[in-house]
Amino acid sequence: MINETELEKLSWPDAPRLKTRSVPGPLERQALERSARRESLARGGGEFPMVFDEGFGVTVKDPDGNLYIDLSAGVGVNSVGRCHPAVVRAIHTQSQRLMHASDITNSKRIELAATIAGIMPEGLRDNCVTYFTQSGSDAVEAAVKFAKRATGRQQILAFHGAYHGIWNASNALTTGNQYRAGYGPFMGGVIHAPYPYAYRFPFDTSSRSAEQIAGEYVDYLLNTRYTGADDVAAVIVEPVQGEGGYVAPGPEFLRLLRKACDHSGALLIADEVQAGAGRTGKMWSIEHSGVKPDLLTFGKGMGGDLPMAGVTMRADLAEHIPPGSQPGTFAANALSAAVCLTNIELLTDPKLALIERAHELGLEIVERLRAAACPLIGEVRGRGLMIGIELVEDRASKTPLRPERVGHVVMQTLSRGIIMVPCGRNGNVLRLMPSLTIPRRYLFAALDVMLAVLAEA
């Protein structure tokens, strides 16, 4: 496993280190004002008062030169850290050979498709075809279309709390009013079912687990007459729910979904855009359950510093997709493909063992946070380096911490040099999703800051 000295060389030293008395500092403030004048605030993080100016590993600088430790890794994107030297080298080399090739394929992209086939979970491994896209939303759009085309069916089943993107099909699957209000109507034929979010499950779990109830409910929907779910092409699921609050159900849920799909003839799509690429301690989060997906969407951590996403589907399903029917001008250009190959190489290098490290660090963090006995922490959950800390007004009532108090915690943490972004259905879940290359020293220093802020709050 890569040692700490080597990891520390992959980030700037002495973080966090603030130069200005408060954040945003004067230059950052000016930059934010310029952004607000000419950049749409519909972007993610539109309310997060920060401007990234430089980044290296898990450290970033704002325009005033304040140095932060980033626990969000660009929302789970920078799995190997920012500007990793091997990635920078790959960009340098590839940029002198070929970058854009349109959707006509290119050598790097062919190499990438073959590499992806080799790292897929069982069921897809070496028996699949990949369609490349530029974003996770695009990948989900494509997965939905391919599932419909391959099955000849029209409906899609997704889950409460799901986030699958913000275009037409993907937005129809995504729940969350802030992403939907005023933008509809979206693609029709979508059915939503409860996700086994045990901490806030709407049904009694005294005799059966949330996983069992949620899994059996999908079976009931798909395989019982008169439920309206009579034409379901696919069930799409985040094996670990991301934007919905970093919820990591036990394996039984996915196993029940698989069974229900097999019985009804629906396909199972694992959306691994956020939880994939090693983050949860396995290359793909569905691998914790042993369940074989029919299609898998990926993005974020596979691309890292350059955009890369796609959907990988079983080879026999791909036979139903007419050639040339779904072109994409910018899909998997050679430069992005070269970076993605480098990311995969780093993530799967047994000498570095970054994925194993994510698993071990995750266990340690959860143990530490659970032991912290902070009254604002209702629950700590997650898998690997995908950890959610659900904040509550009090533990007995589980009332979600009010948005202004969550905002206060995030801003206090930021003003001490730690970047953390919340998520969850009530916006009250702090998520820890640092790069897999985060040095222990930085990780535990950042956690101490966060716990101190929570204690003061």
Ligand X SMILES: Cc1ncc(COP(=O)(O)O)c(C=O)c1O
Q: Which residues contact ligand X (rule: CB under 6 A)?
A: 135-137, 140, 163-165, 238, 242-243, 271, 273-274, 299, 309
For ligand X, which is the closer residue by CB, 81 or 161? 161
- Report the alpha-carbon angle 194-254-116, nearest 5: 120
Question: In angstroms, what is the minimal distance from the CB of 135 to ligand X?
Answer: 4
For ligand X, which is the closer residue by CB, 165 or 417? 165
Question: In angstroms, what is the minimal distance from the CB of 326 to ligand X?
Answer: 17
For ligand X, which is the closer residue by CB, 274 or 426? 274
**Which amino acid appears at position 429 of this protein?**
V
Q: Which two structure tokens, joined as six digits, stand for 72?
A: 């969000």
Residue of 390, 419, 380 whose CA lies nearest to 72: 419
Question: In angstroms, what is the minimal distance from the CB of 285 to ligand X?
Answer: 10
Question: In angstroms, what is the minimal distance from the CB of 153 to ligand X?
Answer: 22
Question: In angstroms, what is the minimal distance from the CB of 441 to ligand X?
Answer: 29
For ligand X, which is the closer residue by CB, 62 or 272? 272
Evaluate whether 28 touches 62 at the Cβ level (below 8 Å).
Answer: yes
Question: In angstroms, what is the minimal distance from the CB of 295 to ligand X?
Answer: 13
3-state secondary structure 37-84: HHCCCCCCCCCCCCCCCEEEECEEECCCCCEEEECCHHHHCCCCCECC
Question: Which residues, at least 6 apart from 340, have a Cβ–Cβ distance to it below 8 Å?
Answer: 112, 302, 303, 304, 306, 308
Comparing every residue's Cβ against ligand X, the nearest one is 136
The whole-angstrom separation of Cα 308 and Cα 116 is 12
The whole-angstrom separation of Cα 28 and Cα 66 is 10
Please name the helix (run of DSSP H) or strand (run of DSSP E) that holds residue 264, with its range, or none.
helix 251-264
Question: In angstroms, what is the minimal distance from the CB of 287 to ligand X?
Answer: 16
Residue that is written with structure tokens 């190489």 in the block: 345
Please name the helix (run of DSSP H) or strand (run of DSSP E) that holds residue 110, with its range, or none.
helix 107-119
The whole-angstrom separation of Cα 391 and Cα 378 is 5
The whole-angstrom separation of Cα 162 and Cα 148 is 20
For ligand X, which is the closer residue by CB, 18 or 296? 296
**Which amino acid appears at position 78 of this protein?**
N
Question: In angstroms, what is the minimal distance from the CB of 430 to ligand X?
Answer: 16
For ligand X, which is the closer residue by CB, 299 or 400? 299
For ligand X, which is the closer residue by CB, 432 or 449? 432
Long-range contacts from 259-265, C-beta under 8 angstroms, 24+ separation: 259/215, 259/219, 260/215, 260/218, 260/219, 260/222, 260/223, 260/235, 261/222, 261/234, 261/235, 261/294, 263/219, 263/222, 263/223, 264/222, 264/223, 264/232, 265/151, 265/153
Question: In angstroms, what is the minimal distance from the CB of 77 to ligand X?
Answer: 9
For ligand X, which is the closer residue by CB, 164 or 381? 164
Tell me how far CA of residue 122 lies from CA of 252, 260, 269, 292, 295, in angstroms: 17, 19, 14, 6, 11
Question: In angstroms, what is the minimal distance from the CB of 149 to ligand X?
Answer: 20
For ligand X, which is the closer residue by CB, 79 or 135? 135
Question: In angstroms, what is the minimal distance from the CB of 240 to ligand X?
Answer: 9
Q: Which two structure tokens, joined as six digits, stand for 427?
A: 């916006």
Question: Which residues, at least 6 apart from 97, have a Cβ–Cβ distance to it below 8 Å?
Answer: 334
For ligand X, which is the closer residue by CB, 15 or 430? 430
Question: In angstroms, what is the minimal distance from the CB of 358 to ligand X?
Answer: 17
For ligand X, which is the closer residue by CB, 61 or 383? 383
DSSP 200: G
| Signed CA dihedral, 264, 269, 275, 279: sign only | positive
Evaluate whether 291 touches 355 at the Cβ level (below 8 Å).
Answer: no
For ligand X, which is the closer residue by CB, 249 or 299? 299
